[in-house]
Amino acid sequence: MDNFKWTRKDLLSLYDLEAEEIEHILDTAEEFKKVSQRNVKKVPALRGKTVVNFFVEPSTRTRMSFELAEQRLSADIININANSSSLKKGETLLDTARNIEALQADLIVMRHSAPGAQSLIAKNIRCGVLNAGDGAHSHPTQALLDLFTIREKKGSLKGLKVSIIGDILHSRVARSDVWGLIKLGAEVTFAGPATLVPKEFENIGVRVCHNLKDALVDADVVNLLRIQHERQKRGFFPSTNEYAKFFGLNEASRKYLKPDALVMHPGPINRDVELDSAIADGPQSVILEQVTNGLAVRMAVLFLVSGCVEK
């Protein structure tokens, strides 16, 4: 463990990481979690570093979490949103990124609606690049905070049964969680309507089912995903009522849940659609702890990659 060396300047997806690297991030995050519990919630680890939060797709929670993490590490921060950026003027993404690089920024935290947009940037510029979500592809810090929360509550991921329920097809959370869970030894189930849970995931060892009961029974962790009304318009399911009836975790379906199962949600919750309020606010829910842990995980990741960005 003491011989481990973190060597990446970018965090793009958990698919790229070895189990050892994931564990190292989680271990590092444990120490950063303590920083936020102190009176002085700030360390000088990124003092003098410039971090650019480059959000080409709107975000409230993730951006807030990253920004606070950066502040707690004493970094200098610039926020660029798609609306205010030059992207509207027809500049290519890479040109915008090169401009950011020319300002001697050290790290770019980036969200974009197109899968792989961060890979394009990371390959072509010196700055470290942290993926804060790229379309339906990846959202590695969300997965890391999920892993951190599960590990903190359950001790280890090994052998745990984790069910992710909802709109898997459009979910970068599911696509990130799955790699972290598999690499750390958990067994993953994806569940939801047949239109939103592609069978192709069976190719990487995920159990795919379209029946909520099968997903809940025996699960040690249940992660509910936000269902977007927009999908209904495009014919993926008939109505939120019917969705809630067949795939929502509610009074009727909670009886299948093990008493010690954790209930998670990446937020924001559609209360009483995918998750009933009573359960979201109940003793099995770790949803707010996920938010707290997200900060620690992002501090850890910023700290680690900042050490590998060349001058």
Partner 1 sequence: MKSEYILTGGRVIDPYRNIDKEMDIGVKDGKIVEASAIPDAEKIDVSGKVVCPGFIDMHVHLRQPGNTAAETIATGTMAAAAGGFTAVVAMPNTSPAADTAGTIEYIKRHTAQDGVVKVHPCGCMTKGIAGEEMAGIGSLKSAGVVAVSDDGRCIQKHQLMKHIVQYAKAFELPILDHCEEDGIKDKGVMHEGVWSTLLGMQGIPSAAEELIVARNIIMARTIDWKIHLQHISCRESVERVRIAQKRGIQITAEVTPHHLSLTDERIKKFDTNYKMNPPLRSEDDRQALIQGLVDGTITVIATDHAPHTETAKLVEFDYAPFGIIGLETAIPVCLTELYHTKLLSLPDLVSKFTKGPADILGFDQSGLAAGADADITVIDTETEFTVDADKLRSKSRNTPFKGMTFKGKAAATIVDGKIVFNEL
Partner 2 sequence: MPAKREVCNGSEVQAAITRVADAIISEFLSDNPREFAMIGIHRQGVPMAERIIAKLESRTGYRPQLALLDISMYRDDIGMRKSLPIIHATTIPFDMNDTAVILVDDVLSSGRTIRAALDAVTDYGRPELIRLAVLIDRGNREFPIRADYVGMKVDVSDDRKLAVEFNENNGQDGVYEIDWKKYRRGDH
The whole-angstrom separation of Cα 161 and Cα 181 is: 9
Which entry of partner 2, partner 1, none binds 216, CB below 5 to 8 A by partner kind?
none
Which entry of partner 2, partner 1, none binds 27, CB below 5 to 8 A by partner kind?
partner 2
77 binds partner 1 (CB under 8 A): no
Distance of closest approach, residue 115 Cβ to partner 1, in angstroms: 5
Which entry of partner 1, partner 2, none binds 114, CB below 5 to 8 A by partner kind?
partner 1
Segment 83-112, which members bind partner 2 (CB under 8 A)?
A: 106
Question: 245 by DSSP, 3-state: which?
Answer: helix
Whole-angstrom CA distances from 157 to 77, 98, 150, 188, 305 are 35, 40, 7, 11, 24
Among 10, 25, 26, 49, binds partner 2 (CB under 8 A): 49
Question: Sign of the CA dihedral 204, 209, 210, 214?
Answer: negative
120 binds partner 1 (CB under 8 A): yes
112 binds partner 1 (CB under 8 A): yes
Q: Where are the beta strands (DSSP E) in 199-283?
A: 207-209, 221-224, 262-264
Pairing label, strands 128-134, 107-112: parallel
Question: Sign of the CA dihedral 297, 298, 300, 301?
Answer: positive
9 binds partner 1 (CB under 8 A): no
Which entry of partner 1, partner 2, none binds 117, CB below 5 to 8 A by partner kind?
partner 1
7 binds partner 2 (CB under 8 A): yes
Distance of closest approach, residue 4 Cβ to partner 2, in angstroms: 7
Which residue from 229, 213, 205, 202 is spatially nearest to 165, judged by alpha carbons?
213
238 binds partner 2 (CB under 8 A): no
User: Segment near partner 2 (CB under 8 A), from 12-20, 44-52, 193-201, 202-210?
Assistant: 44-52
Nearer to partner 2, 28 or 189 (CB): 28
- Say if residues 43 and 73 touch (Cβ distance below 8 Å): yes
Dihedral of the alpha carbons of 262, 267, 272, 277, in degrees to the nearest 10 = 60
Segment 200-259, which members bind partner 1 (CB under 8 A)?
A: 200-201, 203-204
User: Segment near partner 2 (CB under 8 A), from 28-36, 80-88, 89-97, 181-189?
Assistant: 28-36
Which residue from 222, 188, 220 is spatially nearest to 207, judged by alpha carbons?
188
Distance of closest approach, residue 136 Cβ to partner 1, in angstroms: 3
The whole-angstrom separation of Cα 190 and Cα 203 is: 13
The whole-angstrom separation of Cα 181 and Cα 158 is: 9
Q: How many residues does the chain have?
A: 311
Among 11, 25, 46, 100, binds partner 2 (CB under 8 A): 46
Helix, strand, coil content of the chain in percent (nearest 5): 40, 15, 40
Which entry of partner 2, partner 1, none binds 255, CB below 5 to 8 A by partner kind?
none
161 binds partner 1 (CB under 8 A): no
138 binds partner 2 (CB under 8 A): no
Which residue from 84, 69, 86 is spatially nearest to 28, judged by alpha carbons?
69
Q: Which residues bind partner 1 (CB under 8 A)?
A: 15, 92-94, 112-117, 119-120, 134-138, 169-172, 175, 198, 200-201, 203-204
Chain contacts with partner 2 (rule: CB under 8 A): 1-2, 4-7, 24, 27-28, 30-32, 34-35, 38-40, 42-46, 49, 73, 106, 303-304, 306-309, 311
